[in-house]
Amino acid sequence: MTTGTAFVATCDLAAQVRGRATPVARLDQTLRTGVGWVPANLALTCFGHLADDNVFGSVGDLRLLPDPATAVDLPADGPVPGTRLYLADQTGLDGSPWPGCPRGFLARALADLREIAGLEVNASFEHEFMLGGQAEAPPFSFQRLRGAEPFGADLVALLETAGLEPESWLPEYGDGQFEITLRPAPGMVAADRAVLLRELVRDLARRRGHPVTFVPLADPAGVGNGVHVHFSLREVGGGPVMFDAGAPGRLSSTAARFAAGILRHAGAVVAVTAPSVGSYLRLTPHRWSAGGVFLAERNREALLRIAPTVEIGGADPAGQLHLEYRAADATANPWLVLGILIRAGLAGLAGAEPARVWPETATEADLAEEPALPGSLPEALAALEADEVARGWFPHELLHTFLAVRRAELACVKGLPDHELCRRVADVY
């Protein structure tokens, strides 16, 4: 790009992408020194107002320092000009890390995973969303896929050009529901791609005249939209460490202990991965979201699912085996989601007991004694506050503001019936 603007952005606690545009003519300077930002912006709710109970007030200044590796070019489209989008770290005026930065939270977790455990994580965020402006068509059908054209083909082409490596694009089960999956990538890249994916989908949908929402649940009686986080562990500079052919679920001791930490701190983790006032209408049994706090082979009611491996043509399962975390949605910040899963997993690696692996044949009666997920956002926030270990994973500025934002959002929808609550959240996401 030689003319126009570039947008330098962060993803905030309400999973909203916010930032500032700068002329392309000033881009070299912007890449060196960033653009101005304000600490109190971290306290913006999804409904667009500042949470009253925040620690920043009107003072302080930051920089949004763009990461050149995240640059995505959106081409001109008719009367809509092209632009370049960068994701940025929030830093002090001297470039030092700011404790409230969600991207910095993930960076520190990834660094500790390498230094403490000698491990790296590969991940992929699998997104579901509702696309409006189409005729009714059956779930999973070619009819629905073609009915969404040219949006679908344009989206896949845009993601490929942007380097996000799409793997599949499919019509899903719910009315107007679609799913897009991306190729697994190193942890920070995977989370960055999740942030970018949502904005690219929304931007293209606006340009094609389609209403779109990633809301966890658009209708209390309908089908929900999840963000399933697939992840695997590897030795730093080495190979995969999750596969053990002789272990339950073929899950190695390392992987089973990592999973145990996520299960042990599930209440705190879910508060971050499903942080919306509407998230808990979706997280109920029999919705294929997450029906309980357990680890299981290929069970879509499990909080952690051992994903299947393919051995057609002699494919090696060792490099494929991974876990799928199923209690996230697109109201959550991807940097915080992957960061807290790593923090909980590290806590599990420090313990001695691996998680129990329930076989695919386990019945609902077998699983009846497994713990339930928090039943509401207030219950999840209380679990986060009560978990002394989990609280220690967060800088004070980040944790205090996260709780303040969530509680301010709760106050905004207090007393609304479920269908109206779903509509309010759908309008935002």
Where residue 393 falls among pLDDT bands split at 50, 70, 90? very high
Q: What average pLDDT does the structure give for the chain? A: 94
Please tell me the predicted confidence (pLDDT) of residue 412.
Answer: 92
The CATH class given to the 105-428 domain equals alpha beta
Q: Is the pLDDT of residue 1 over 80?
A: no
Please tell me the predicted confidence (pLDDT) of residue 312.
Answer: 93
Enumerate the domain spans of the chain. 105-428
User: Which residue, 193, 122, 140, is CA-closest to 164?
Assistant: 193
Q: How large is the average pLDDT for residues 271-291?
A: 89
Q: Is the pLDDT of residue 139 over 70?
A: yes
- Round to whole Å and give the CA distance between 426 and 222: 13
| pLDDT, tens digit (0-9, with 9 covering 90-100), for 197-251 | 999 999 999 999 999 999 999 999 888 999 999 999 999 999 999 999 999 999 9
Give whole-number Cα distances, 338 to 88, 239, 408, in Å. 17, 21, 24
Please say whether the beta carbons of 384 and 391 come within 8 A.
Answer: yes
What are the beta bridge partners of residue 127?
180, 227
Please tell me the predicted confidence (pLDDT) of residue 2.
Answer: 60
Where residue 272 falls among pLDDT bands split at 50, 70, 90? very high
Give whole-number Cα distances, 331 to 215, 230, 326, in Å. 7, 18, 14
- Whether pTM > 0.85 for this model: the answer is yes
- Round to whole Å and give the CA distance between 56 and 229: 32
